[in-house]
Amino acid sequence: MEKKKNKRKYNVSLYILIPIIFSGMSVLTGIIAFQFSKFYPEGIKLSGEVALWAAVIIGATLLCGFIITSLILSPMRKFVEEAEKMPFFTKSVAEKKPQSINEIDHFNLVFKEVTSLLDKVEAKELFPEVIGHSRVMRGLFSQIMKVASTDTTVLIMGDSGTGKELVATSIHNHSSRKDKPFVKLSCVAIPEGLLESELFGHEKGAFTGATSQKIGKFELANEGTILLDEIGDMPMETQAKLLRVLQEREFERVGGTRPIKVNVRFISASNKDLPEMVKEGKFREDLYYRINAVTLLLPRLAERREDIPLLIDYFLKKAPKKARISSDALQMLMNYSWPGNVRELQNTVERVALMSEGGIIESTNIPADILSSMKEVGYGLDKSRELGDIVSIDDRLGNLEKKMIVEALISTRGVQARAAELLGINERSLYHRIKKHEIDISSLKP
């Protein structure tokens, strides 16, 4: 069976195509007009004068089409050219060969890239305290902006270490209450017998040790925002009193009889499965539906690996010992599962920075638990050599090849065409090698 030849693709410039379309429309209009003119019944043919006028009209239409096209496309083309010269602009669009893509598609690609960059800039400007430019984080930022302008209650759900408190802070900072108090309380950090006192305050003599009146967190947060972290650990009795505060906007201090009115924005957070706790009778159903008017789900770090280099860079700048990370060590950290999320990453970066020599974090500085995980995944580590076993030359060459490919992809920001040039192979060969070694390209892109 003969192989089908690849169809050659021809791209016509819009500066030619659009004027031709304009001229074709004018010619078609002229023909139709002539067919219905008074000359048609008499059988009069086109005279030289009519032909001349037709040529003039077609030429004028071509010129007008070219001028209109130039006025519209010149600013767009100039914008695209200037955008592609910017140092932070990714090379994926600029490296496209002119014959492989038409001008309109090229413009669309550039505009999408610029929009993505603007989203990242907006995220950095509006949320400087939250490190992350990934698509999933930008979606979260959009949700934050929508709920921040309202006074609705918000429930933030996410694993430990995903930054629930930072998100709550962002909601407060972008709300109309940003100049008012922002009070935070962790329900798991307060002993069960003292939680009500912390929340609502107490009167002097309310219980043993209450030697003076105490103002509670709700009263301190009046006109502002209160965050109750780990609300899933709140005792059932306290949940009932909290529900009354949310419904009636008033409470009484422990040992008091006078109701106190408050006006607060309520935000709660939990790393537990509250719907499951409701089914098990460990969390009040009415309170659950009261606090989750809007629910924000925070992604695990493993779900936004493209943010890991940004986070590592941020933590290295804050580390007690200045250091930079090698590409091999970075690849290992990017492919670790991070069960402790951002908090675990921060602790790990600070630790490996202290253990580094010469200010460079190498793969040998990575903690043993992460190294063990990398052995299972097989990213950049020679498992057999670590165990002291005999390694075949094919396995050694395979590990070396994989390491070189990963380093090339990291240095080219995941652009396979440029990585292939660095490695001295064609792009198709690189594609097959990436597939063979099961390298995750998305995790290597910034």
Asked whether residue 344 carries a pLDDT value surpassing 90, the answer given is: yes
279 with 158, same domain: the answer is: yes
Residue 417's pLDDT is 84
Tens of pLDDT, residues 352-384: 998 888 888 888 888 887 877 655 554 444 444
Question: Is position 318 within any domain?
Answer: yes
Domain boundary (272, 299, 326) is at 299
192 with 287, same domain: the answer is: yes
Is the pLDDT higher at 36 or at 350? 350
Residue 2's pLDDT is 43
402 with 318, same domain: the answer is: no
Question: Is position 1 within any domain?
Answer: no
**Beta partners for 268?**
155, 228
Tokens of 307: 């943010």
pLDDT (mean) for 315-324: 89
- DSSP at 254: B
DSSP string, 30-44: HHHHHHTSTHHHHTP
The answer to whether 131 touches 150, Cβ cutoff 8 Å, is: no
337 with 446, same domain: the answer is: no
pLDDT (mean) for 269-285: 94
> What confidence tier does 185 reach under pLDDT thresholds 50, 70, 90?
very high
The rounded percent of the chain whose pLDDT value lies above 90 is 30
Whole-angstrom CA distances from 98 to 12, 66, 93, 95 are 11, 21, 11, 9
| Calpha distance 338→57 (Å, rounded) | 70
- Listed in sequence order, the residues at least 6 apart from 9 whose beta carbon sits closer than 8 Å to its beta carbon are 99, 100
156 with 38, same domain: the answer is: no
DSSP string, 357-387: BTTEE-GGGS-HHHHHHHHHHTSS--HHHHT
**Beta partners for 226?**
183, 266
Question: Is position 106 within any domain?
Answer: no
Helix (H) or strand (E) holding 183: strand 182-186
pLDDT (mean) for 41-57: 58
pLDDT (mean) for 261-280: 94
Question: Is position 437 within any domain?
Answer: yes
Is the pLDDT higher at 396 or at 54? 396
> What confidence tier does 146 reach under pLDDT thresholds 50, 70, 90?
confident
| Calpha distance 283→277 (Å, rounded) | 5
Is the pLDDT higher at 227 or at 423? 227
Query: What's the chain's Rg over C-alpha atoms?
Result: 33
Question: Is position 19 within any domain?
Answer: yes
CATH number at residue 293: 3.40.50.300
Asked whether residue 331 carries a pLDDT value surpassing 60, the answer given is: yes
Domain boundary (381, 403, 430) is at 381
354 with 322, same domain: the answer is: yes
Please indicate, yes or no, whether the overall pTM of this predicted structure exceeds 0.75: no
Tens of pLDDT, residues 108-125: 666 666 665 555 555 566
Is the pLDDT higher at 49 or at 174? 174
The rounded percent of the chain whose pLDDT value lies above 70 is 67
Lowest mean pLDDT among 20-29, 97-106, 134-143: 97-106
CATH number at residue 330: 1.10.8.60
Domain boundary (381, 407, 428) is at 381
**Beta partners for 266?**
226
Question: Is position 108 within any domain?
Answer: no
162 with 274, same domain: the answer is: yes
The number of folded domains in the chain is 4
165 with 267, same domain: the answer is: yes
Average pLDDT value for the chain: 78
The answer to whether 441 touches 435, Cβ cutoff 8 Å, is: no
324 with 350, same domain: the answer is: yes
Centre a 10 Å sphere on the Cβ of residue 228 and count the other Cβ atoms it contains: 24
| Burial grade of 329 (CB within 10 A; 0-12, 13-18, 19 or more) | buried
Is the pLDDT higher at 439 or at 314? 314
341 with 431, same domain: the answer is: no
> What confidence tier does 40 reach under pLDDT thresholds 50, 70, 90?
very low
Query: Which pairing describes strands 225-229 and 265-270: parallel, antiparallel, or unpaired?
Result: parallel
The answer to whether 349 touches 401, Cβ cutoff 8 Å, is: no
Tens of pLDDT, residues 151-160: 999 999 999 9
Question: Is position 200 within any domain?
Answer: yes
Question: Is position 133 within any domain?
Answer: no
Domain with 357, as residue range(s), is 300-381
Give CB contacts under 8 A, 24+ apart, made by 337-340. 337/302, 337/373, 338/300, 338/301, 338/302, 340/160, 340/161
Q: Three-state secondary structure along 296-331?
A: EECCCHHHCHHHHHHHHHHHHHHCCCCCEECHHHHH
161 with 291, same domain: the answer is: yes
CATH number at residue 438: 1.10.10.60
Residue 177's pLDDT is 94
Tens of pLDDT, residues 377-431: 544 444 444 444 455 777 778 777 887 887 778 777 778 888 888 888 888 888 8
Query: Which pairing describes strands 360-361 and 324-325: parallel, antiparallel, or unpaired?
Result: parallel
76 with 188, same domain: the answer is: no
